[in-house]
Structure 1
Amino acid sequence: MIVIWTRKDLRSLFARSNLGQEALVRYYSDYQREDLENAVQYFECASRNCPLTHPCYAAALVNLANVKMMSYRIHPRSTNLDELIRLYREALNLRRPRHPDRPVTLLQLTRALLLRYEQQGCAESADEIEKLMTEEVFSEDTHERRAADLVLDTLVRCRVVNSGSLVKLNELLRKLEGNAMPPDGYFDKPQRLINISTTLWKRYEKLGNLGDLDRLLATNEEALRLLPHRHPDRLSCLRTLGAVLWRLFEIHGDLDYLRQSISLSDEALQFTLEGHPHHRYWVINSTSHMAEMSERLGDVAFEASKYDESMAQYSQAIESLSSLVTHKSRGCLWL
């Protein structure tokens, strides 16, 4: 059966894509989850109704995959990671070698695969990233080349951290810190700082070197300074920095570290609303740190209503939490 598309059909298709883009603009302005959900719906409609043979079909798939990736990073339970990887793969297959948009689509696919490897330890994803990178030649001194290098560097970092080898951790840190850090304004600088931070934290867990804590503090503060408000990468920085501040509070007893940790938890809870897989972690972390502050200073340190509300959230989180791994140090809780 041959389906004939009229100009009216195509105008409707492009209109849905435009509505999706407008919803994204609203989301970036107000960070309302409803706008992001609307963008997903508009792009789903556009990709579903676009003819498979239309030149814009690959773009429709990428638009949908991009917005699903954004939704996943903000609220992981809202989107299936395997599904958005499938969308990127399908778009890449449509954009054959020498297609002008193939390098960007390939990088988008590798970033999604990298996210799956980071979260699930899927070795097949790591292997696919390396295979894809050998298939594409990126011109030097281009945005794509920097993005490709960043993906590969982050993949190496994941493998080394997962290995737990102290020798490999030290070697990687020497390499990461020996490389010239790009200046402010370059898109890859925050992630490169996060790579250093993640490796440093793993080494600190093994050696307990206090000098690593000071470096972690500076590295994460710089990354947070560079990342825009509500950027999903801020969450990993907040988590590491919060752990560092708690350690420093335990060591020095300086309440300023505790105040900063509570402030970080407040920001993180704006990212991790009810239903987010890390919501309970931040509720428990925030409440335990507030309880510590209250114990040190007395109840006058906090409004009673705020404290009672936090304790209620804490009790609810404890009841629904199936498993929780705690650090040896009191009050620093990890999922």
Structure 2
Amino acid sequence: MNDLQETIDLQRSVLQLTPEGHPKYAVALVNLADSLHERFVRRSGVDNLREIIDLRRSALKLTPEGHPKHAVALVNLADSLHERFKRQSGMDDLQETIDLRRSALQLTPEGHPECVVALVDLADSLHERFERQSGIYDLWEIIDLRRSALKLTPEGHPKYAVALVNLADSLHERFKRWGGMEDLQEIIDLRRSALKLTPKWHPKHA
């Protein structure tokens, strides 16, 4: 922890000595935010999280749309806001997380390695809102996103079974409300496929 604190102190000094218009100012913001996040993971201090969000918000302003790091800046801020939402349940934080993740997804081509991650992250955040507000349009979008994530996940991928289960769970939410037999059949097929991929010794097999 002493080495990490020394790194934070040095990065804070670098940020203070770097003019806002300097090409490396955004890098200094990100470096300090990343180190503070590492400390946050170890200590879970809300004050750390507040500063991380402020730094990531400032970095995003300096990497506008069209900048090669714009999508990364969107995701970094979304992740930090989501951390705060998990602790404080502020719906404003969740809404901004959704907006940022939607923007990041729109900037991520379908063949990009991060496309599946972007789809899953947005679906998960929408699901958190759905759990609280039961919005029908959220559920429809979650299903579409999880279907797309499954389509882009190869059958031999370690996350393929998870993608099957996630889509099945979302379809089950819709089935519970509207009772569509097509949804029920797809749920059965998806869960059967997931079960075949889950070893008997795996805790999720039962």
Asked if these proteins are the same fold (TM beyond 0.5), I'd say yes
Aligned Cα RMSD in Å? 3.2
Determine whether 1:302 maps to 2:160.
Answer: no
Q: Is the 8 A contact 2:164 2:190 kept in 1?
A: yes
Determine whether 1:265 maps to 2:135.
Answer: no
How do residues 107-126 of structure 1 correspond to structure 2 at under 5 angstroms?
Answer: none
- Report the CA distance shift for 1:285/1:170 in structure 2 as closer, same or farther (over 3 A): same
Alignment partner of 2:54 out of 174, 178, 185:
174
Determine whether 1:217 maps to 2:98.
Answer: yes
Cα distance in 2 for partners of 1:230, 1:244 equals 22
How do residues 144-183 of structure 1 correspond to structure 2 at under 5 angstroms?
Answer: 152=31, 155-156=34-35, 158-160=37-39, 162-163=41-42, 164-179=44-59, 180-183=61-64
SS in 2 for 1:184: coil
- Report the CA distance shift for 1:181/1:162 in structure 2 as closer, same or farther (over 3 A): same
Alignment partner of 2:87 out of 206, 212, 216:
206
- Report the CA distance shift for 1:220/1:231 in structure 2 as closer, same or farther (over 3 A): same
Determine whether 1:322 maps to 2:197.
Answer: no
Determine whether 1:244 maps to 2:125.
Answer: yes
Partner of 1:276: 157
- Report the CA distance shift for 1:153/1:265 in structure 2 as closer, same or farther (over 3 A): farther
Q: Is the 8 A contact 2:36 2:48 kept in 1?
A: no
TM-score of the superposition, structure 2-length normalised?
0.75
Q: Is the 8 A contact 1:184 1:226 kept in 2?
A: no
**Unpaired runs of 5+ in structure 2?**
11-21
Partner of 1:22: none
- Report the CA distance shift for 1:181/1:307 in structure 2 as closer, same or farther (over 3 A): same
Q: How many residues align?
A: 186
- Report the CA distance shift for 1:158/1:250 in structure 2 as closer, same or farther (over 3 A): same
Q: Is the 8 A contact 1:197 1:220 kept in 2?
A: yes
Q: Is the 8 A contact 1:242 1:265 kept in 2?
A: yes
**Unpaired runs of 5+ in structure 1?**
1-122, 131-139, 325-335
Partner of 1:184: 65
Q: Is the 8 A contact 1:173 1:196 kept in 2?
A: yes
Q: Is the 8 A contact 2:150 2:163 kept in 1?
A: yes
SS in 1 for 2:65: coil
Cα distance in 1 for partners of 2:30, 2:201 equals 34
Cα distance in 2 for partners of 1:308, 1:242 equals 21
Q: Percent identity?
A: 21
- Report the CA distance shift for 1:220/1:253 in structure 2 as closer, same or farther (over 3 A): same
- Report the CA distance shift for 1:307/1:202 in structure 2 as closer, same or farther (over 3 A): same
Cα distance in 1 for partners of 2:142, 2:40 equals 25
Deviation at 1:225, TM superposition (A): 1.1
Cα distance in 1 for partners of 2:26, 2:153 equals 27
AA paired with 1:169?
L
Partner of 1:119: none
AA paired with 2:97?
L
TM-score of the superposition, structure 1-length normalised?
0.48
Deviation at 1:310, TM superposition (A): 1.5
In the TM superposition, structure 1's runs of 4+ consecutive aligned residues that sit over 6 Å from their partners are none
Q: Is the 8 A contact 1:220 1:240 kept in 2?
A: yes
How do residues 50-129 of structure 1 correspond to structure 2 at under 5 angstroms?
Answer: none
Cα distance in 2 for partners of 1:264, 1:321 equals 30
Deviations 1:58-114 (A, max 9, x none): xxxxxxxxxxxxxxxxxxxxxxxxxxxxxxxxxxxxxxxxxxxxxxxxxxxxxxxxx
Q: Which structure's CA Rg is the greater one?
A: 1
Q: Is the 8 A contact 2:30 2:55 kept in 1?
A: no
SS in 2 for 1:272: coil
Deviation at 1:156, TM superposition (A): 2.9
